Amino acid sequence: MNIYSIVILLLVLCHAQFEVSTAEANESGRRNMFINLPAGDDDCQRWDSWTLSGSATLNHMAESSAQHTFGIKVDNTSNGASNCDMLLGVFTAAGSFGCVIEGGASLDQITWCDSYPDIPVYVFNHNARRWGTFVALDENCTDGLYVNRFYMKNSAVGEKYWTWNQWVGEVEDGVRYYSQFQVESTADTGYDLSEDWAYVPPVYEWYAESFDSCTNDCNYEGGVITRNVVCRATKPMVSGEAPDGNHNYINWDGSKCSGLTKPDTYKTCPAGSCQWVHYASNWNCMGSGTTANNDQLLNVPTGEECQAFCINYSYAALWTHSSKLKCRCYHVCHEGGATSGGVYVNEVWEQVATGRRKN
């Protein structure tokens, strides 16, 4: 046999293998994503080709309309529809991911997730060369679900499906099998697998930050203090690591918390009410021997007049000797110094909010 005949034979063998693989896929009613050639045929060229589409920002996609996601179809099988929430997706050797259908799936129609398949699922396949699809019902579900087809879609190739014809949520020997897994290969042993693993939907709560305290500045005119209030998930919990639940899930429009009482996002703070209290005697707020001050008025005979003049300041000091009669106002006073007494005798008052204790 010459080299030309060998090449022709190899091509015929590879082509025949391709045709058989395609026929088997059609007979099973499922759609193969790849054409697998048996081991040992490394000299044969592959006829399948593939192309990628992706977001320019690879790990981010606008959520307005899911361009690629999963779905299921329930045919007209009696009691095949379900009102339960469900998680569906794919599992691989490196882990799994999926999306959620809320409100169940109806008869004779395809029901799609309304989001991208961006939910991590903690299940993996022991065989690195295999992957498959799965559907899991809500852990509180008492329905059965009959999955006629498992669908994938994207904006490039449209809708593709695998024919399942399997029940999810059946009860056997007192155990409810909430999830069904199907390996994507008719050659695998254990083509489908039922498990009691369930989808645990998040439970939401209103979470509110603590309010800041209202100011005790007696010159405060009154107003409001705001805080952040968000609807966040408290479940599923990670034992020993996240005792308050998984708070990564934030429902920004608050729809998941619609039946709960939303905490106030603001509180009103009353206007400050001022009073003058005695602070010190024979004390210069800016330091011994200095004439520095924030404001000053001469020839003030009484403390009441001095306090009225210093209404916009925290401290008022009145020098009361007839030769030094003056009122000085200060914003600060604690780092001052003593006066020398005599003609420099004075009284100092601090302006505080009504009801505040000085010491």
Q: What tens digit of pLDDT does each residue of 86-135 get? A: 999 999 999 899 999 999 999 999 999 988 898 889 998 888 878 899 99
Q: State yes or no: cis peptide before 117, omega within 30 of 0.
A: no
In this predicted structure, the answer to whether residue 44 has a pLDDT above a threshold of 50 is no
| Exposure string over 108-121, b if 16+ CB within 10 A, otherwise e | eebbbbeebbebeb
- What is the model's pLDDT at position 107? 95
Q: Would residue 165 be called left, alpha or beta, if left means φ above 0 and alpha means ψ between -120 and 50 degrees?
A: left
Of these ranges, 69-83, 173-187, 262-276, 344-358, the one predicted with the greatest mean pLDDT is 69-83
Q: How is residue 268 written in tokens?
A: 């009103």
Q: How confident is the model at residue 352 (pLDDT cuts 50, 70, 90)?
A: confident
Strand order from edge to edge, sheet including 229-235 = 203-208, 229-235, 250-251
More confident residue, 195 or 358: 195
The CATH class for the domain spanning 69-195 reads mainly beta
Residue 347 CB contacts under 8 Å (≥ 6 apart), including other chains: 278, 280, 281, 303, 317, 318, 320
Q: What tens digit of pLDDT does each residue of 138-184 get? A: 999 999 999 999 999 988 888 999 999 999 999 999 999 999 999 87
Q: How is residue 202 written in tokens?
A: 């998040």
Confirm if 277 and 350 have CB atoms less than 8 A apart.
Answer: yes
Q: How confident is the model at residue 43 (pLDDT cuts 50, 70, 90)?
A: very low
Q: Where are the beta strands (DSSP E) in 218-314?
A: 223-226, 229-235, 250-251, 266-269, 274-281, 283-284, 295-298
Q: What tens digit of pLDDT does each residue of 293-341 get? A: 999 999 988 999 999 999 888 899 999 888 888 999 999 998 899 998 7
Q: How is residue 170 written in tokens?
A: 């059946």
Q: pTM score, two decimals?
A: 0.59
Residue 118 CB contacts under 8 Å (≥ 6 apart), including other chains: 97, 99
